[in-house]
Amino acid sequence: MKKRIFCFRDSILKHQIMLGRYLASRGASEYTILIIYSIIMGTIAGFAAIGFHKTINLFSHVTTYSASLFQSGYGFLIILIPTLGMFIQWLMVRIAPRQAKQRGVLEVIKAVSLRDGEIPFKSTLFYFLATTVCIGSGGTVGPEAPAAQTGAGVVSAAGKMLGLSVSRLRMFTAAGAGAAIAGVFNTPLAGIFFSLEVILLNEFRATTLSIFLLSTVSASAVSRIFLGNIPKFHFTSLQMGSYSHFIFYLLLGVLAGLLSILFIKSKEYIGHKFVLYYKKHALLPGMLAAGLLMGLAGYFIPQIFGIGYETINLVLGDHVSVPTMLVLFLLKFSLVIIILSAGGYGGIFAPSLFMGACFGSLFAHIMTTIFHIPLDTATFALVGMGAMLAGINSIPITAIMMLFELTNNYMFVLPLILGIVGSHTITQLILNGSIYRKELASEGYRISDGQETTILHSVTVDKITRADILTVPDKTPISELVRQFLNRDHDTIYTVNDEGKLSGVITSSTLRHLITSYHDLHGVVIAGDIADFDYVSINASDTLDVAMQLFARHHVEEIPVMRVTDTEQIIGVLHYQDVLHVYNQRVGKISIQDELAMNMKCIDKYKAMEAIPGFSVAEIPVPDKFLNKTMAQLDLRNLYKIDVLLVERPEQVTSKSSETLKILPDKNFNLTRGDILVIYGYSADVDKFKNHI
Q: Is the pLDDT of residue 596 over 60?
A: no
Give the model confidence (pLDDT) of 642-675 as tens digits.
Answer: 878 778 877 553 334 445 666 767 677 888 888 8
Compare 468 and 662 and report the one with higher pLDDT. Answer: 468
**Separation between Cα atoms, residue 418 and residue 385, nearest integer Å:** 13
> Which of 190-199, 522-531, 573-582 is least confident?
522-531
Q: Is 142 helix (H, G, I), strand (E, B) or coil?
A: strand
Mean pLDDT is lowest, of 473-482, 558-567, 600-609, 629-638, for: 600-609
Q: ∠ CA(498), CA(500), CA(506), 5° rounding? A: 95
Least confident of 100-109, 110-119, 469-478: 110-119
Q: What is the structure's pLDDT at 174? A: 81
Q: Which residue has the higher pLDDT, 604 or 413?
A: 413
Q: Which of 134-148, 206-220, 313-327 has the lowest mean pLDDT?
A: 206-220
The mean pLDDT value for 611-640 works out to 79
The more confident residue out of 394 and 5 is: 394
Instruction: Identify the pLDDT of residue 575.
Output: 87
Beta-strand pair 658-663/615-621: unpaired
Residue 118: predicted pLDDT: 74
364 pLDDT tier (thresholds 50, 70, 90): very high
CA-to-CA dists, residue 527 to 476, 506, 514, 521, angstroms? 5, 8, 11, 11
d(CA 275, CA 282): 11
d(CA 417, CA 96): 43
Q: How confident is the model at residue 383 (pLDDT cuts 50, 70, 90)?
A: very high
Dist. CA 447–CA 455, nearest whole Å: 11
Kindly state the average pLDDT of the residues 271-292: 89
Within 10 angstroms of residue 658's Cβ, the number of other Cβ atoms is 10
CA distance 538 to 527: 23
Q: What is the pLDDT of residue 1?
A: 42
Q: What is the mean pLDDT of residues 578-598?
A: 61
Question: Tens of pLDDT along 395-428?
Answer: 899 899 888 887 777 777 889 999 999 999 999 8
The predicted structure's pLDDT at residue 677: 85
**Position 9 confidence tier, pLDDT thresholds 50, 70, 90:** very low
Instruction: Determine the average pLDDT of the residues in 161-190.
Output: 77
Contact indicator for 342, 289 with CB cutoff of 8 Å: yes
Q: What is the mean pLDDT of residues 282-309?
A: 90
Q: How many helices (H) and strands (E) does the chain have?
A: 29, 11
Interacting residues of 87 by C-beta distance below 8 A, sequence separation 6+: 284, 287, 288, 291
> What whole-number distance in Å separates Cα of residue 585 and Cα of residue 583?
5
Angle at CA of residue 536, ends 530 and 542, nearest 5°:
150
pLDDT surpassing 50 at residue 460: yes
pLDDT at 475: 84
- Domains in the chain (CATH in brackets) are 2-227 (1.10.3080.10), 243-444 (1.10.3080.10), 453-580 (3.10.580.10), 600-692 (3.30.70.1450)
Give pLDDT tens digits for 333-346: 999 999 999 989 99
What is the residue-wise DSSP string for 301-341? Answer: -GGGSSS-HHHHHHHHTT-S-HHHHHHHHHHHHHHHHHHHH
Range with the lowest mean pLDDT among 156-165, 173-182, 195-204, 238-247?
Answer: 195-204
Residue of 687 and 15 predicted with greater confidence: 687
**Which of 141-155, 158-172, 655-669 is the most confident on average?**
141-155
CA 252 – CA 377 distance, rounded (Å)? 12
User: Is residue 132's pLDDT more than 80?
Assistant: yes
33 alpha carbon, distance to own chain's centre? 25
Q: Is the pLDDT of residue 40 over 50?
A: yes
Instruction: Give the chain's mean pLDDT.
Output: 78
Q: Can you list the pairs that 501-504 forms with residues at least 24 positions away whose Cβ atoms lie under 8 Å?
A: 501/566, 501/568, 501/569, 501/570, 502/535, 502/537, 502/560, 502/562, 502/568, 502/569, 502/570, 503/474, 503/528, 503/531, 503/533, 504/474, 504/528, 504/531, 504/532, 504/533, 504/535
In DSSP notation, 573-622 reads EEEHHHHHHHHHHHHHHHHHHHHHHHH---PSTT--EEEETTEEEEEEEP
Report the pLDDT value the prediction gives residue 508, as an integer from 0 to 100.
Answer: 74
Q: What pLDDT was estimated at residue 249? A: 94
Question: How many Cα atoms are found within 13 Å in the side-chain-facing hemisphere of 687?
Answer: 7
Question: 186-238 pLDDT, tens per residue?
Answer: 778 888 888 778 777 666 555 567 777 888 888 888 887 877 777 777 777 77
In this predicted structure, the answer to whether residue 43 has a pLDDT above a threshold of 90 is no
**Average pLDDT estimate for 600-621:** 60
SS3 content of the chain, % helix, strand, coil (to 5): 65, 10, 25
Residue 399 burial (CB count, 10 A): 33
The arithmetic mean of pLDDT across residues 27-45, rounded, is 74
Of 538, 469, 542, 540, the C-alpha closest to 506 is 469
* Residue 590 clears pLDDT 70, i.e. is over it: no
H-only helix segments in 432-562: 435-442, 451-456, 478-487, 508-515, 518-521, 527-530, 544-554
